[in-house]
Amino acid sequence: MRTQVAIIGAGPAGLLLGHLLHRRGIDTLILERHSRSYIERRIRAGVLEHDVAELFAAVGLGERMRREGLAHGGIHLRFAGQTVRIDFRSLVGRGILVYGQHELVKDLVRARLASGAPLWFEAEAVAVEGHCDGRPEVRVRRGDRIETVAAEVVAGCDGFHGIARAAVPSSLRREYQKQYPYAWLGILARAAPASDELIYACHERGFALLSMRSPTLSRLYIQVPPGTDLAAWPDERVWEELELRLSAPGFRLERGEVVQKDLTRMRSFVVEPMRWGRLVLAGDAAHIVPPTGAKGLNLAVADVTHLARALFAFFEEGREEGLEAYSRLCLERVWKVQHFSWWMTQMLHRAPDASPFDHRRQLGELAALSASRAAQAWLAENYTGLPLDVSGIVD
């Protein structure tokens, strides 16, 4: 099998890249080791930045997103018995869209299959070779066979545990990471959201978040130790802890059937550079952010905008400048987003070794934020998304 771009991974980054390249007549093959049903059911992020939602709509992927997505103009911060709303629209003139990542994946898969461009499910990429010599190949396991896919460029969009990043010797890459001393216990419940917008709560027992996926599905999280056993958290205990940490005058948490329960470890990770020869990385294959700032999916989309432009120039004009600049351009945004995500995380979570002073200082930081329009504007600017350059993509 031969193609111009072999894309490893059918998550949002890989599927969006394939969609953008197909629109320009560039041949792509997307390889996904899981089944279609698996990736379409996998619950992940649910917040789209303003410019990211606009991009999906502009490239023909926004019909259902616009119809079913929940437009939010702000978030609520809850601490020390008070709730402060950060009004995005008045601060920066834009908001966010709540739309589950698995729903976005469904839209992307449907568009890919309707286009007739190849998407191989249950096709596991097991090796990438030749990318430093300009003749990249991907070895793919399909059933009991190993096939070879020859390409001009390989895009590793296969997540943190994928094989693309490992295709370059560790001596040639720099990795930066931070493990946080807590995790999120998350539930998906058939219950109407108890708030019209997300609530971020800083409580003496730890962080809690009220989010949603639809008018009838709530997504809620509580901070727990990293090694937490989910069996120790039956549904009733989860609901009681959520009610405690999210409590406020007049607030009533809606309960319902818990349809999913999971544990998310918190970490920050960046690999540099994001390109080696004809192998490029995008999304979680290159960087991970803690979910507090809702940036993982959005940062992956930003990578794809740079990569798509670089590949347009490479295949249509024979120019490699975009590929050469790809890593630098992506990393400029990545480190800004890493800082914002770290800041949101440390401001709202209770560290296991936190002293009374640490907790009081944390409350002081939240009080200072609540009293400063300038500080709120910085939060709003980052939460709703740094400007996304889509020139040459939607024109």
pLDDT of residue 292: 96
Choose, from 19, 291, 306, 326, the residue flagged as catalytic. Answer: 291
Q: Which residues of the chain have a pLDDT value below 70?
A: none
Residue 127 maps to a domain:
yes
Residue 104: domain span: 5-72+96-177+267-351
| CATH classification at residue 165 | 3.50.50.60
Q: Does 181 participate in catalysis according to the annotation? A: no
Comparing CA positions, the residue from 191, 226, 208 lying closest to residue 79 is: 208
The Cα angle at residue 247 between residues 245 and 248, in degrees rounded to 5:
140
Would you give the distance in Å from CA 256 to the centre of its chain? 26
Burial class (CB in 10 A: 0-12, 13-18, 19+), 231: exposed
pLDDT of residue 170: 85
- Total domain count for the chain? 1
Choose, from 180, 182, 200, 326, the residue flagged as catalytic. Answer: 200
Looking at the DSSP bridge assignments, the partners of residue 142 are 123, 145
Residue 189 maps to a domain:
no
Question: Cα separation of 309 and 59, whole Å?
Answer: 14
Query: What are 377's two structure tokens?
Result: 């504007």
Query: DSSP characters for 149-164?
Result: EE-SEEEE-S-TTSSS
pLDDT of residue 271: 97
Question: Cα separation of 200 and 83, whole Å?
Answer: 9
Q: Does 106 participate in catalysis according to the annotation? A: no
Q: Does 180 participate in catalysis according to the annotation? A: no
Choose, from 99, 182, 326, 383, the residue flagged as catalytic. Answer: 383
pLDDT of residue 131: 87
Q: Does 200 participate in catalysis according to the annotation? A: yes
Residue 368 maps to a domain:
no
Residue 133 maps to a domain:
yes
Choose, from 72, 131, 306, 349, the residue flagged as catalytic. Answer: 72
Query: What are 178's two structure tokens?
Result: 């931070």
pLDDT of residue 394: 86
pLDDT of residue 45: 78
Residue 102 maps to a domain:
yes
pLDDT of residue 124: 97
Is the Cβ–Cβ distance between 159 and 285 less than 8 Å?
yes
Residue 291 maps to a domain:
yes
Question: Cα separation of 82 and 371, whole Å?
Answer: 13
Question: Cα separation of 384 and 386, whole Å?
Answer: 7
Choose, from 203, 295, 306, 349, the residue flagged as catalytic. Answer: 295
Query: What are 159's two structure tokens?
Result: 């997540």
Residue 46 maps to a domain:
yes
Residue 235 maps to a domain:
no
pTM of the full predicted structure? 0.95
